[in-house]
Amino acid sequence: MFVNLKLSEIAPNPDQPRKFFDKAKHEELTGSIEENGLLQPVVVRPVEGADAPYMLIAGERRWRACKDAGLEVVPAKVIEGASEEKAYVLSIAENVNREDMTIMEEAGAYADLKAAGWTPAKIAKQFGKTETHITWRLGLLTLRPEVAEMVDKGQIKNNLAWHIAQLSPANQMVAAMRYVRGDFDSEAEAQHFANGLKMMEKQTSLTGEEAPTAEVQEERKKAKAKAKDGLGKAEDILIPLFEELGEKKPEDLAVILGSDLDRYVRVVGKIYNQVQLVRNLLSKAQGIQRAMEAEFNKAAAEVQQEAVEKKGETAEAKPTAKKTTAKPAAPKPAVRTGAVTKAPARRTPAKKTEAAGK
């Protein structure tokens, strides 16, 4: 049923899943309503015993813009007999695919439905999403508030946010701050770093609990030398070859390579696929290495802080010496050392000395 209602007869929904309304877009909508009126009705349901006879189900942004545009009456679609849960579902349905609904607002809305007994599968079916999409959104709710705010502001992208959400609160800040300040060349590198931190949290043995034996150290040394030698050959042979081919025009390569062209395409394709695979593995290894370094630095800082605190406790535990009135000290005999120092002989006149001898 469509009716015209006074704005004063409509109250916003306190359980509105959207909490953030973009100021610039609000002003744009307000200007449009001033010029053209409200083209899309708001959706409301009757409520009893409230200050206003109707409550918004959908269209709070439009309702706010109408108030600022000076409208007194707006077109509304009234849904009779809608329960609070049904109204909430309709409210989510209107907002869940909107660009200006933040990812954390979406996650919070799904969490409310889950708390009401909805399974991720049911939520996914209701809103046309995959169950994985719902599960990932719900996983974001473990983010600490500071990191969630970074996600809402678009400083951290959705996929990376999920990886960060799997970490402890302290490590969430470590991963988020390092990404925001530009420590990584790509989002994938940041994800690998977060995964490395997760492995450290699980106390996964990355290097072995015991020191490697001499045989293991020798094997690692040989493997490193072999990899280094292979990388050197690639730099000496493959890179110059690709640089040379890259400078040619396609029509020139067709003539130069002739019957070998198909072979070149096939071999380079294999190299490309292998390089992509190894590049991904190296990036993961780099993430683990960075996580180990971060964990080591954190442990070192904790040890240093503990030492400072212990030093402070020791200083506080020392008794304070009582002040006493110093008495004149009796002259002390000279302390003898290995070399005895003689006092300088007192000179006397020669005559007195002779008299003393007599």
> Within a 10 A sphere around the Cβ of 331, how many other Cβ atoms?
6
Closest to 293 in 3D by CA, of 174, 185, 162: 174
d(CA 283, CA 289): 10
Q: Is 60 a catalytic residue?
A: yes
d(CA 185, CA 203): 27
Helix, strand or coil, per DSSP, at residue 43: strand
Per the CB < 8 A criterion, the answer to whether 110 and 137 are in contact is yes
Give every strand in the sheet of 2-6, ordered side by side.
Answer: 2-6, 73-78, 42-46, 54-58, 10-11
d(CA 139, CA 170): 17
Non-local CB neighbours of 8 within 8 Å, separated by 6+ positions = 52
- From the candidates 60, 94, 106, 295, which is the catalytic residue? 60
Non-local CB neighbours of 120 within 8 Å, separated by 6+ positions = 110, 114, 131, 134, 135, 138
Residues belonging to the active site: 60
